[in-house]
Amino acid sequence: MAYSEELVSRIRVATALFPETFTEKKMFGGIAFLFQGKMTVGAINDDLMVRVVGEKMEGTLQQQAVRPMDFTGKPMKEFVFVSKAGFNTEEQLQHWVELGVEHAKSKL
Protein backbone atom coordinates (compact mmCIF):
# COMPACT_ATOMS: atom_id res chain seq x y z
CA MET A 1 0.00 0.00 0.00
CA ALA A 2 1.32 3.36 -0.98
CA TYR A 3 -0.10 6.16 1.12
CA SER A 4 1.09 8.88 3.45
CA GLU A 5 0.87 7.78 7.09
CA GLU A 6 0.91 11.46 8.08
CA LEU A 7 -2.12 12.17 5.90
CA VAL A 8 -3.96 9.14 7.29
CA SER A 9 -3.29 10.37 10.84
CA ARG A 10 -4.60 13.83 9.94
CA ILE A 11 -7.74 12.32 8.40
CA ARG A 12 -8.31 10.28 11.57
CA VAL A 13 -8.20 13.48 13.64
CA ALA A 14 -10.57 15.26 11.21
CA THR A 15 -13.10 12.41 11.19
CA ALA A 16 -13.01 12.16 15.00
CA LEU A 17 -14.81 15.54 15.11
CA PHE A 18 -17.99 13.86 13.84
CA PRO A 19 -20.33 12.09 16.29
CA GLU A 20 -20.60 9.13 13.92
CA THR A 21 -17.88 6.50 13.63
CA PHE A 22 -15.88 6.15 10.43
CA THR A 23 -14.41 2.88 9.26
CA GLU A 24 -11.22 2.41 7.28
CA LYS A 25 -10.81 0.14 4.29
CA LYS A 26 -7.92 -0.58 1.96
CA MET A 27 -9.01 0.54 -1.51
CA PHE A 28 -7.42 1.82 -4.72
CA GLY A 29 -3.95 1.07 -3.35
CA GLY A 30 -4.53 3.34 -0.34
CA ILE A 31 -6.84 3.80 2.63
CA ALA A 32 -10.44 4.98 2.33
CA PHE A 33 -12.56 6.36 5.16
CA LEU A 34 -16.20 5.29 5.12
CA PHE A 35 -19.10 7.14 6.74
CA GLN A 36 -21.99 4.74 7.42
CA GLY A 37 -20.50 2.39 4.84
CA LYS A 38 -20.07 5.04 2.13
CA MET A 39 -16.68 6.30 0.93
CA THR A 40 -15.84 9.88 1.84
CA VAL A 41 -12.12 10.58 1.65
CA GLY A 42 -8.92 8.61 1.52
CA ALA A 43 -5.17 8.69 1.14
CA ILE A 44 -3.48 7.41 -2.00
CA ASN A 45 0.25 8.10 -2.22
CA ASP A 46 0.54 11.73 -1.08
CA ASP A 47 -2.86 12.71 -2.48
CA LEU A 48 -6.19 13.11 -0.77
CA MET A 49 -9.02 11.29 -2.54
CA VAL A 50 -12.44 12.91 -2.09
CA ARG A 51 -15.96 11.93 -3.14
CA VAL A 52 -17.92 14.95 -4.33
CA VAL A 53 -21.64 15.27 -5.04
CA GLY A 54 -22.26 15.62 -8.76
CA GLU A 55 -23.57 19.18 -8.69
CA LYS A 56 -20.35 20.39 -7.01
CA MET A 57 -17.90 18.61 -9.32
CA GLU A 58 -17.47 21.42 -11.84
CA GLY A 59 -16.69 24.04 -9.20
CA THR A 60 -14.48 21.66 -7.26
CA LEU A 61 -12.41 20.79 -10.31
CA GLN A 62 -11.73 24.50 -10.91
CA GLN A 63 -9.92 24.81 -7.58
CA GLN A 64 -6.15 24.78 -7.43
CA ALA A 65 -4.55 21.49 -6.41
CA VAL A 66 -7.63 19.49 -7.56
CA ARG A 67 -7.73 17.11 -10.50
CA PRO A 68 -10.02 14.31 -11.64
CA MET A 69 -9.35 10.91 -10.12
CA ASP A 70 -8.15 8.78 -13.00
CA PHE A 71 -6.98 5.19 -12.72
CA THR A 72 -7.99 3.81 -16.09
CA GLY A 73 -7.35 6.72 -18.44
CA LYS A 74 -10.90 7.92 -17.81
CA PRO A 75 -11.97 10.15 -14.87
CA MET A 76 -14.02 8.38 -12.21
CA LYS A 77 -17.46 9.82 -11.55
CA GLU A 78 -17.72 11.98 -8.42
CA PHE A 79 -14.08 11.42 -7.37
CA VAL A 80 -11.23 13.93 -7.22
CA PHE A 81 -7.62 13.95 -6.11
CA VAL A 82 -6.34 16.88 -4.08
CA SER A 83 -2.57 17.42 -3.95
CA LYS A 84 -0.74 18.49 -0.77
CA ALA A 85 -1.10 22.19 -1.60
CA GLY A 86 -4.87 21.83 -1.24
CA PHE A 87 -4.87 20.51 2.33
CA ASN A 88 -1.93 22.21 4.05
CA THR A 89 -4.00 23.42 6.99
CA GLU A 90 -6.36 21.48 9.20
CA GLU A 91 -9.17 23.81 8.10
CA GLN A 92 -8.53 22.92 4.45
CA LEU A 93 -8.47 19.20 5.27
CA GLN A 94 -11.69 19.53 7.28
CA HIS A 95 -13.37 21.16 4.26
CA TRP A 96 -12.54 18.12 2.11
CA VAL A 97 -13.70 15.67 4.78
CA GLU A 98 -17.00 17.56 5.08
CA LEU A 99 -17.39 17.48 1.29
CA GLY A 100 -16.85 13.72 1.35
CA VAL A 101 -19.37 13.28 4.15
CA GLU A 102 -21.89 15.35 2.19
CA HIS A 103 -21.49 12.88 -0.69
CA ALA A 104 -21.92 9.89 1.64
CA LYS A 105 -25.08 11.36 3.18
CA SER A 106 -26.50 11.93 -0.31
CA LYS A 107 -26.23 8.17 -0.92
CA LEU A 108 -27.93 7.00 2.29
Query: Has residue 72 got a pLDDT over 90?
Result: no
pTM for this predicted structure: 0.94
The structural domain count of the chain equals 1
Query: Has residue 68 got a pLDDT over 70?
Result: yes
pLDDT digits (tens, 9 = 90+) for 5-41: 999 999 999 999 999 999 999 998 999 999 999 999 9
Q: At what angle do helices 90-106 and 5-15 cross, to 10 degrees?
A: 70
pLDDT digits (tens, 9 = 90+) for 46-57: 999 999 999 999
Query: Has residue 71 got a pLDDT over 80?
Result: no
Mean pLDDT of the chain: 95
What CATH number should be reported for the domain holding residue 17? 3.30.1460.30
Q: Residue 38 belongs to what domain range?
A: 5-106
Rounded CA-CA distance 2/44 in Å is 6
Sign of the C-alpha dihedral, residues 3, 27, 40, 74?
positive
Q: Is 36 left (phi over 0), alpha (psi -120 to 50) or beta?
A: left
In terms of Cα–Cα distance, which of 57, 93, 95 is closest to 76?
57
